[in-house]
Amino acid sequence: MFGVFFVLPMLYLVVMSFWRLRLYRLEPAFIIKNYALTIADYGESILFTIALAFVVGSLTTLLAYGFAFALRFRSGRWGDAYLFITLVTLFGGYLVKIYAWKTILGNGGILNTGLMTLGLIDEPITWFLFSPVAVVITLIHFLLPFAVLPIYGALRNVDPRHLEAARDLGARPRRVFRDIVLPQTQAGLVAAFTLAFLYSAGDYVTPRLVGGPNIQMVGTFIESQFVQRLNMPQGAAMAITTMAACVLFLLLMVAALRATLRQR
Amino acid sequence: MTGTVVASGRGGEGAGAAEPLVLLSGVSKRYGAVVACDAVDLRIERGDFLALLGPSGGGKTTLLRIIGGFAYPDVGRVVIDGVDVTRMPPEDRPTNMVFQGYSLFPHMTVRQNIQYGLKVKRIPPAEAAARTAEIIALTRLEGLEDRAIGQLSGGQQQRVALARALVLRPKVLLLDEPLSALDLKLRQSMQEELRRIHRLIGGTFVFVTHDQNEALWLANRIAVLANGRIVQQGSGEDVYGAPASRFVSAFIGEANTLAGRRRHSIVELEAGPSFPAAGPDEPVTAMIRPHLLRIAETAGPGEVLLGGRLRDVVFLGPRVRYQIELANGTELAVDAVADRRRQAVVPGAMLSIAVAIEDLLVLARDDPAN
């Protein structure tokens, strides 16, 4: 199953990235020109994409952890209800949410009119929308419920009696969190960050709709290679390069996380 | 660590005037409509091995948690070594607990678990290593220091939990049903271990149990709790031999109860015999332990006879239990040592049982505690 639906298409993509486009026709070959072009023209945008995905991943994971923690340890009887509400928000599709943020962040949107009514600003802030900021906000909002779930799952497995035991041994609440809760939720943390990071790195719809004209997310460029220029080899090369860069970055992040949380 | 010092210095008059290590005064705690602790007064002396004994839901675990700081009383005070700790959080108290289920940190090794408290208190590494080695030797955990918690047996986990608490040298060690999860043989060996360790380090231990055998084994003082109240405190002999109420007599050890009436300081049992017992005229219950009854044809000096039919004989290893139904319908349990001298009796036979009058404990029947 995994082989048929994932490995074979991937292999096809890899093979195609070495082909060339001649007169709008695919021609099997073995050239590295596509990769060379990727690094030369789009290298900067790949780095920008990873940076933005990192910001989204980090903020989403942080917010998701806070929410999941409150859900697990501070909501008492309402815990299940809050969880249910979180799951329900998953049903709103991403396009709906993107357009919602377009409305909220725009010049005439709630955020700007609210700030102006409060007298904090005189003119609407234009960079709320059609900017990297808008992309980050929209992506965080969309990915939050996805990130909450693995973290909540990991927190469920933390026995509250361990927290009591740590306090009995002299640890204050912050210490208890760092020594007992965090290490046991590593897997959930990694899952949440990976999800948010990878989704953001590959997204092209959000940047196209709220990113503005100067947005440098590589997803949009890959899309245009495939759809507008019909240059599939080039698009494939860019996709493979981006994937490799993301995986490398992710491995580094996870290793760093593990090293920080290791018991001394 | 904040807390007001309540009393400093000791009375020079003698042991009786010394301040107890732990003093609970008027401690009450309720959870919603349930009263967990009801105006509890408790003194715990230095060096005590105290058992809080009682049926489930009797308030003993709540009391232990109040001493440890995991619950705050609604009313009353907790003073440890002269310092009022009533509202002090557990991390600041000079107590440590061995939790039911041990609560060992699953992501740490044995050594890391034991050293956790030392690390939090920032004890220098050399001293920490020395204390850890000392406690590992005391709890016989040598060779297991680098094991993961999941690889330990129940008994080993118990000892790690004990080591983790003791390495911090708490003024009071609290144990919440420490042996309940162990099988019989392991429980017996752990009982001996705990006694040995307590004697060796001379600490003050308080533990909660619903098992009266455990209480008698381990503790030098027992406080019996029911419905959030301490109904009797004393040594094992006091509580077993002179129970203050029918509840206590039935909870610790087994008890036969015989209804009767006292008039002019003579008790007349419904089962027949009468005997002198000073006290007011009132309905009474006479309590007698099964092993203090004797199957006999005649009564010796100072004894009375009861008559009934043998219902059942149960072989229990070191003893044999005879279940007897008296003429007036009362059930009686008689324990005899299972040696070669025991009589051969058949269920259905009529028997007489001798009981020494001074072994009978007469309690007022109308006492609400009964």
* pLDDT at A263 (0 to 100): 63
- Residue A39 pLDDT level (bands cut at 50, 70, 90): confident
A15 inside domain: no
Phi-psi region of B246 (alpha: psi -120 to 50; beta: other; left: phi over 0): alpha
* Beta-carbon separation of A184 and B107 below 8 A: yes
Number of domains present in the structure of chain A: 1
The structure tokens 């943020």 sit at: A101
Are the Cβ atoms of B99 and A161 closer than 8 angstroms? yes
Quick one: closest CA in A to B107, which residue? A184
Enclosing domain of residue A136: 45-261
Do residues B80 and B101 lie in contact, with contact meaning Cβ atoms separated by under 8 Å? Answer: no
pLDDT tens digits, B43-89: 999 999 999 999 887 789 999 999 999 999 999 999 999 999 999 99
Domain at B254-364, CATH from 2.40.50.140, 1.10.3720.10, 3.60.15.10, 3.10.20.30: 2.40.50.140
CA distances from B8 to B19, B42, B83, B360 (A): 9, 20, 9, 46
Tokens of A168: 């009995």
Judge whether A36 lies within some domain. Answer: no
Residue numbers in B near A167 (CB within 8 A): 89-91
Evaluate whether residue A53 is within a structural domain: yes
* Cβ <8 Å between A164 and B101: no
Tell me the mean pLDDT in the region B262-290: 90
Residues A122-170 have pLDDT tens digits of 888 888 888 888 999 999 999 999 999 999 999 988 988 999 999 999 9
Nearest residue of chain B to residue A263 (CA atoms) = B108
pLDDT of residue A76: 78
Read off the pTM. 0.78
CB contact, 8 Å: B21 with chain A? no
On whether the CB atoms of residues A210 and A101 are closer than 8 A, the answer is: yes
Distance CA B105, CA A168 (A): 13
Mean pLDDT of chain B: 88
Å between B71 CA and nearest CA of chain A: 11
A13 in a structural domain: no
Share of chain B above pLDDT 70, in %: 94
Q: Is the ipTM of this complex over 0.85?
A: no
Q: Which residues pair with B144 in a beta bridge?
A: none
Residue range B15-94+170-247, CATH number: 3.40.50.300
pLDDT value of residue A245: 93
Q: What are the domain boundaries of chain B?
A: 15-94+170-247, 254-364
Contact at CB, B120 and A171, closer than 8 angstroms: yes
Indicate which CATH number applies to the domain containing A205: 1.10.3720.10
| Residues B286-301 pLDDT 10s | 999 999 998 888 888 9
Tens-digit pLDDT profile for residues B2-53: 444 444 444 333 444 578 999 999 999 998 888 999 999 999 999 999 999 9
Is-same-fold flag (B15-94+170-247; B254-364)?
no
Smallest Cα distance from B334 to chain A, Å: 45
Report which listed range, A60-64, A253-257, B281-285, is most confident.
Answer: A60-64
Mutual angle of helices A186-202 and A218-227, in 10-degree steps: 50
Chain B residue numbers touching A159 (CB-CB < 8 A): 103
**Which stretch of DSSP H or E encloses residue B218?**
helix B212-218
Residue A203 placed within a domain: yes
Which of B85, B95, B98, B119 to mutate to probe the A interface, most A CBs <10 Å?
A: B119
Question: How many angstroms separate the CA of residue A190 from the nearest CA in chain B?
Answer: 17
Spell out which residues of chain A touch residue B120, defining contact as CB-CB under 8 Å.
169-171, 175
Q: Which residue did the predictor score with more confidence, B339 or B368?
A: B339
Inter-chain contacts counted by CB atoms under 8 A, chains A and B: 57
Strand B266-269 relative to strand B256-263, pairing: antiparallel
Looking at residue B11, its pLDDT comes to 38
Q: Shortest Cα distance from B220 to chain A (angstroms)?
A: 26
Q: Give the pairing of strands B34-44 and B350-356.
A: unpaired
Question: Chain B residues with CB inside 8 Å of A179's CB?
Answer: 116
